[in-house]
Amino acid sequence: MRFTKMHGLGNDYVYVDCFNQPPPRDAAGLARVISDRHFGVGSDGLILIGPSERADARMRMFNADGSEAEMCGNGVRCVAKYVYDHGIAVKPRLTIETGNGVLTLDLDVNNGKVERVTVDMGPPILEADKIPTTLPGPRIVDQFLDFSEGPLKHSFVEANGVDPRLTCVSMGNPHVVIYCPDVSKIPLERIGPMIETASIFPDRINVHFVQVHSPSEVTMRTWERGSGVTLACGTGACAVAVAGVLTGRSARRIVAHLPGGDLDLNWSEADDHVYMTGPAVEVFSGEWPS
């Protein structure tokens, strides 16, 4: 099986071209073994690129633990780059079918290769039951919790200066945003999985700690559902942009600094859609034994 390794800001996936070869029989199992950073290729997951009856291509995404996810913002930018660079659909605007519907992507092309991509991520989903979370809605915006128990217990909140309020947003996949004065001090490897699997999030959740520098600039760190600590999360950055507006902490246009680089975000007042712009990079191609 031929594959291509690609990344968006270090959020790396193994991509399989299912236009020119059959899709893997067990995509979830393949995701687990090929993502292993010691015994496999190494990645945050597996993404299949195949034909679509509704768009230029279809994307299916599997996390490193084999679970299938609805959407990946960094991943879909790389899908667009692959589709253009490999001649599947060579045009400046592409449509990609995802688990969150068909997305439109505008390509920044230099010397025949895609360098940056702007994705119309669509409108955010804010209803509590659609995110989903069992927290009382209709929206979860700066909602205080009882931190006497659970992963965000008082000792953690106080020791790290964490704002004890949660904001939840779905960009086709679920996100919780938590603010703090210094994201570098958060023990993400310990606290991330506990929040991800908390009972208030029935489908698990992507966890983001955010430090606000100004109304137009934030820094964030992510624990990604099914993958762990990642260098970037595109849908998460979109959720952070939305959460900042909802809570009055940031403007509709922001730059988000992630460990792997920067994303430009715009929650448009004109159409309620979130627009994300960032790079897409092809690293290498290889062959995996079928």
Catalytic residues: 72, 233
Cα–Cα distance between 169 and 241 in angstroms, integer? 10
Q: Check: CB of residue 256 under 8 Å from CB of residue 263.
A: yes
- Cβ neighbours for 255, distance < 8 A, ≥ 6 positions apart: 216, 217, 218, 262, 263, 264, 265
Q: Which residues face 177 on adjacent strands?
A: 167, 208
* CB neighbours of residue 136 within 10 Å: 8
- Please name the residue that has the structure tokens 């299938």: 68
Token pair of 198 as six digits? 């908390």
d(CA 80, CA 73): 11
Strand partners, 109: 114
Contact in structure between 79 and 11 (CB atoms under 8 Å): no
Residue 273, strand partner residues:
none
Angle between helices 234-246 and 73-85 (to 10 degrees): 130
DSSP, collapsed to helix, strand or coil, labels residue 184 as helix
